[in-house]
Amino acid sequence: MNGKVHTIGELLHKYLRESGLEHKLLEASVPTYWEEAVGNHIVSQSKCKRFEDGRLFIEVEAAVWRQELLLRREDIRNKINTRAGKEIVKEIIIR
């Protein structure tokens, strides 16, 4: 040991980074970040279908909500990436 005291959080973060699991953990958090970025009202009108290869797929039944999300998707994408601490979402696809 080098004599430096580490917090459990620091050790866990180091382990996740070194084991390659950090990115997987971020990917698994994207639906939660979506909910935080858009709020409960939009969450009740939309469904986060999947996240793969940097693309977040959102399903919306009502055309008015689809249009609203299309207009706001870059702002939402930026909020998600800010929350994640890196650019994990490259594109939001709304159907």
Q: What is the CATH number of the domain that holds 74?
A: 3.30.300.180
| DSSP conformational letter for 61 | S
Instruction: Say if residue 43 is exposed, middle or buried (CB neighbours under 10 Å; 0-12, 13-18, 19+).
Output: middle
Query: What is the C-alpha to C-alpha distance for residues 69 and 34, in angstroms, rounded to an integer?
Result: 12
| pLDDT value at residue 4 | 80
Q: Is 11 contained in some domain?
A: no
Q: Average pLDDT, stretch 49-68?
A: 95
Report whether 80 contacts 42 (CB < 8 A).
no
Domain contains 10: no
Distance CA 16, CA 5 (A): 19
Report the alpha-carbon distance of residue 61 to residue 72 in Å, rounded. Answer: 17
9 within a domain of the structure (yes/no): no
In a domain, 67, yes or no: yes
**Domain assignment of residue 49, yes or no:** yes
Whether residue 38 is contained in a domain is answered as: yes
Does the residue 79 lie in any domain? yes
pLDDT tens for residues 35-57?
Answer: 999 999 999 999 999 999 999 99
pTM: predicted TM-score of the whole model, two decimal places: 0.78
Q: Which domain holds residue 32?
A: 23-94
| Count of domains forming the chain | 1
Sheet holding 55-60, edge to edge: 46-52, 55-60, 91-94
